[in-house]
Chain A
């Protein structure tokens, strides 16, 4: 505020400066005048420490305690270890000795040239096994100092009274058995119930600026994770969304849950100042419930990726792929020529070492078992064949492998219950000028894992999309040439033989480029996104018939709800127009449509797997009529109520409008005379019979000319 402004403001408030005694004003004590800053950064600043100048010193503990004679030798060993990790300053190693016994004290101080080297040395050598009984414990000197301070002032922490946690699964007990979905549009993030009966969503929670980039549900739907500058946070709870835990990781970019939602992986990468360097990557693994960081990984992006052709930097997310199943036992990382598999008990490598696989380019976990499939492309110009292998973890035993010849690329698709693995193989034609595709189908659950080769009827067809039926034995393939490819359905069983793959049907010339199976199987949406402007075909694979075709113009995303009852199609803000989403029933009936400008994201809240046994599920499916009776009655009530409400609403609106019209008419009537005057006495308003259309005929003689017409013979 400038002085002029202040004067103006004062004049407005009636303050005369000459009468103000500034000394009489007492400001509240303290730097902030008693006003707490709501800027979290201020508090963070407080915590940041000043460089004490000892940043380049580390303390190595758990060294062997040796007498004087062996001092030199130990010093030599330590030097040798740490010289590999950084440059030790001259006289930078100091190992204190007990003045009485002349024995070493089991620790030493090492001073490096730079704090970075010290940091690096600490990270790399912490936990280093010198021998069985001596595992290094390495700390920064600065940290050590701080830790010492803390210990002196230690007080027993107060036992907090037990607060029963909220029921994090309450949403599953909704008496109308509805599903939730989260959407982000503009600054708002909103959670809704999908109330298909009422044909509208029912708001649950709305919060502007809830996240700074995106939101994500945990795989079982318990948590909603939001991303912030300071880190990630998870939200959930019985009624509203309360913050359950925070995970500090500044500038977090991506997050990923383990499939059993025990662990949260956060990712942050920093662009290098020098474009030739690889970007720096930091990944942390947190325990979701306690918020404790279990392990962090730092390094350049190259260590977390296989480095695509031309050395494209940046890791592909998720960097860590979690083994299937609910145990969250293993996770794997792929980097150049190595597969590192970690286990979550100690968060260290299985057998303390990575698997060396030359030139491995892709790995894929079975969704249910700890089996890893991996693909190695051709080497040496085709001399060494490409290979797809299945490896059992933690034993690292190769269960099955198959060599493939003249392969250009492979893609692996696991079926959701881990029974089958399909490998799409692109092979070169004889001339090596083009490729054609086929499938290798692995039957994981059968003895010796038999492999079957499947080629399309027209093997030159390009494969556009592939999708397994969830929990089923069928899969769908879009193949052929744009703009009207074919869609084929295959089954892993035939009527007579359960061990042979067979084709069920081919649908010719479909406008589709993506496949979306219902999570319960049986139904599939053949979708034409992007170039096809959002064509949707709802298809029943059991009956092999189309249930409905529809269009959600420009749709960019399609997502089934976790029960397979409804589908959401959305136009996100990649398009300018008509942002929003539409909810359809599984058989293609549009239920409602919501338009939201700047629509970014839609995600259904996942459900944990059902507790029903397979037999029970089958029984319910068989006697569906009996079970559905109750719901049908409810549906009818609701629809009656709805139409009743609708009628009421319409009636009210009509009445309200009538009132306006009456008012207008009476005013119009009142003003009649005045209007007449304005119109110079012309009796104005009502007009019908005022004039008649007269018919006037004009006949104009424009010109008369005479012409002699000559008859031609």
Chain B
């Protein structure tokens, strides 16, 4: 794998090369049974995101540089240098032109995907935990942690068409009742009318984006019992999946409009990451024993497996092993034919499903 295009300066990407590689990747599409190991990060992975076309994969890690990979063969295209802290989350616009990243350096940055240029920096008083573009990419929701008297909050920013016009003001700021708990994830609901958030206080909340009012929150009985670590929504914004550290380490599937619990999937280890297949009725849970306990036990005890469940029957189908640390990030390619996982071990593993996968009967 070439490292030539990676520079530690801000301009990690060369536009022409980018185009070249993007187009050429379509030719080399073929099924690969073996996972592709992508070693580009020096610290644990935190987040993975495919663009809409499914040809690019963005990865965030605790080292300070989000990285762009070719989703097909795992070639590293470049990095986005400029953050000065762990990068927690990212999102890419529908047309794959803009990237937004949230980092522990108390900023969220807007990037030009192609050139790797920093377009704008949103400054906060605390670490930016999650970012999500709205439908139409004119808005972004960014959550921030509590820090030194600053309470955790959800910020809505307007994203200008022209980066020159970009301003840092928040259109809306929402605060959850428990201000000392991190909001690990916030995403837009259907038609940008709502924002769905979940975090350490175990409650899933739906907010009205017009008024900033709390519309619904999950019931203690049916909801999670411990910190919600991940949240992933369906392509059509109709439902979403949350993963949590609770005792049964379960993931729950909710209706996005009514916040009705539809399904729950139980596993034995804390869940750090969840993903839904856009193609089949499969959900994937990733996680594993707490990283601090890993070295003291057998490697198999950690259960660093990406586990597949049947969405409807809530039954386990199988698992994909490989990481030697907990899985922190999972993402499905929008075509549903491959998925990637990022671990505490610093690797991104890219899996192209073989044909057997599409014929699983349970």
Contacts and interface: CB of A to CB of B under 8 A. Distances in A.
Interface of A: 533, 553-554, 575-578, 595, 597, 650, 653-654, 657, 660, 664-665, 667-668, 671, 674-675, 678-680, 685, 687, 693-696, 698
Contacts of B24: 695
A654 B312 contact: yes
B320 interface: no
Given A554-B301, A577-B297, A679-B136, 19 more contacts: A533-B300, A576-B289, A577-B303, A595-B268, A650-B312, A650-B313, A657-B312, A660-B262, A664-B234, A674-B191, A678-B134, A678-B135, A678-B136, A678-B191, A678-B192, A693-B26, A696-B19, A696-B23, A698-B20
Interface residues of B, number: 41
Given A533-B298, A660-B239, A667-B238, A698 B135 contact: no
Interface string B119-152: 0000000000000001110100000000000000
17 contacts: A577-B301, A578-B268, A595-B266, A595-B268, A650-B313, A653-B312, A664-B234, A664-B236, A665-B236, A675-B191, A678-B134, A678-B192, A679-B135, A685-B236, A693-B26, A694-B23, A695-B27
A31 B298 CA distance: 60
Contacts of A674: 191
Interface in B36-66: 52
Interface in B1-46: 16, 19-20, 23-24, 26-27
Contacts of B238: 664, 667-668
A685 B94 CA distance: 11
Given A577-B269, A693-B23, A680 B236 contact: no
Residue among A595, A597, A678, A680 with most chain B CB within 10 A = A678
A365 to B, nearest CB: 40
Nearest to A533: B298
Given A576-B289, A577-B303, A678-B192, A695 B23 contact: yes
A678 to B, nearest CB: 4
B360 interface: no
Contacts of A660: 239, 255, 262
Closest 7 CB pairs of A and B: A664-B238, A678-B136, A693-B26, A679-B136, A657-B312, A678-B135, A668-B236
B248 interface: yes
B222 interface: no
Contacts of A696: 19-20, 23
A340 to B, nearest CB: 46
A671 B301 contact: no
B217 to A, nearest CB: 21
B179 interface: no
Contacts, number: 76
Interface of B: 16, 19-20, 23-24, 26-27, 52, 94, 134-136, 138, 190-192, 234, 236-239, 247-248, 255, 257, 262, 266, 268-269, 281, 289, 293, 297-298, 300-303, 311-313
Contacts of A553: 300-301
Contacts of A679: 94, 135-136
A533 B299 CA distance: 11
A579 B94 CA distance: 44
B265 to A, nearest CB: 13
Given A667-B190, A678-B192, A679-B136, A597 B248 contact: yes
Residue among B247, B311, B313 with most chain A CB within 10 A = B313
Nearest to A531: B298
Contacts of B20: 696, 698
Nearest to A678: B136
A533 B237 CA distance: 44
Contact of A577 (B52, B135, B289, B313): B289
B72 to A, nearest CB: 12
Contacts of B23: 693-696
B58 to A, nearest CB: 20
A595 B267 CA distance: 9
Contacts of B281: 657
Nearest to A660: B262
Contacts of A533: 298, 300
Contacts of B257: 667
A533 B293 CA distance: 17
B165 to A, nearest CB: 16
A652 to B, nearest CB: 10
A653 B301 CA distance: 33
A522 to B, nearest CB: 33
Contacts of B236: 664-665, 668, 685
Given A667-B257, A674-B191, A680-B136, A657 B289 contact: no
Contacts of A667: 190, 238, 257
Contacts of A664: 234, 236, 238-239
Contacts of A675: 135-136, 191
B179 to A, nearest CB: 23
A527 B261 CA distance: 42
Contact of B16 (A575, A650, A654, A698): A698
A684 to B, nearest CB: 8
Contact of B311 (A657, A693, A695): A657
Contacts of A668: 236-238
B334 to A, nearest CB: 9
Nearest to A698: B20
A595 B94 CA distance: 42
A305 B224 CA distance: 51
A577 B19 contact: no
Contacts of A595: 266, 268
Contacts of B269: 577
A552 to B, nearest CB: 12
Nearest to B139: A678
A595 B316 CA distance: 14
A413 B236 CA distance: 69
A685 B234 CA distance: 13
A671 B262 CA distance: 22
Residue among B236, B281, B302 with most chain A CB within 10 A = B236
Contacts of B293: 576
Contacts of B301: 553-554, 575, 577-578
Nearest to A580: B268
A128 B146 CA distance: 77
Nearest to A685: B236
Nearest to B19: A696
A653 B20 CA distance: 47
